[in-house]
Amino acid sequence: MQQVIHLRVLIDYEKDVFRDIEIRSDDTFQTLHEMIQQAFGFDNSQMASFYVSNAEWEKGQEITLMEVMQPEEDGEPIWLMQDVELSKIIFEKDQKLIYVFDFMVMWCFYIDAISVHEVEDIVILPRITQEFGTAPDQYSKTGDIVFDGIEVNESEEEDDENELDEIFRSMEGFDEENY
């Protein structure tokens, strides 16, 4: 028998979309991160972090994909996904996590522990046990990003490049020869 955590992962999106995932309790947050990416069809190309949460969905301790800055002054350690087993944080029903993927567009997922139980060793884990709703395209939020007054939208990418060219050319000291 192996101990399993059954999680419901709900994406913050205009429609109800969630996935139920079963994962071994001794797997790391790195494995959960990869499983969420697979379950929602994302390409795992961006930074991500988990946050331990309470019942009010307030962010607590961060568990990050990779170390990108020094520890905070308050002495809180930086926890890396690859180093932290799920069982260190999730050991009973109703525990909650927040998962943020791609800090430019802020895909936010709310994770709730449905149960912690045992399954036969022959069960292949991790696995998706339920899918509800169609997951959004990972890049569907890119139109919401604004850089210096220019909205970035994939369908207008060429127009944006021309507009950026004009901005660069109008800048004082711009050397078009080296552009």
Q: Are residues 12 and 77 in the same domain?
A: yes
Question: Is there a contact between 29 and 146 (Cβ–Cβ < 8 Å)?
Answer: no
Domain that holds residue 159: 142-171
pLDDT for 44 equals 85
Asked if the structure places residue 137 within a domain, the reply is no
The whole-number average pLDDT for the span 91-105 is 95
* pLDDT for residue 165: 57
- Residue 179, in any domain of the structure: no
**Largest CA-CA distance found in the chain, in angstroms, rounded:** 69
84 and 115, same structural domain?
A: yes
The DSSP annotation for 43-79 comes to: ---S-EEEEEE-TT--EEEEEESS--SPPPTT-PPPE
pLDDT in tens, 131-145: 999 999 999 886 444
Mark whether 24 and 53 lie in a shared domain.
yes
pLDDT given for residue 179 in this prediction: 44
Q: What percent of the chain has pLDDT over 90?
A: 67
Domain containing residue 75: CATH number: 3.10.290.30
Q: Report yes or no: 20 and 128 within 8 Å, Cβ to Cβ.
A: yes
Interatomic CA distance for residues 165 and 179, integer angstroms: 9
Instruction: Enter the pTM of the model.
Output: 0.77
Number of domains in the chain: 2
Are both 117 and 151 inside the same structural domain? no
Q: Is residue 99 part of a domain?
A: yes
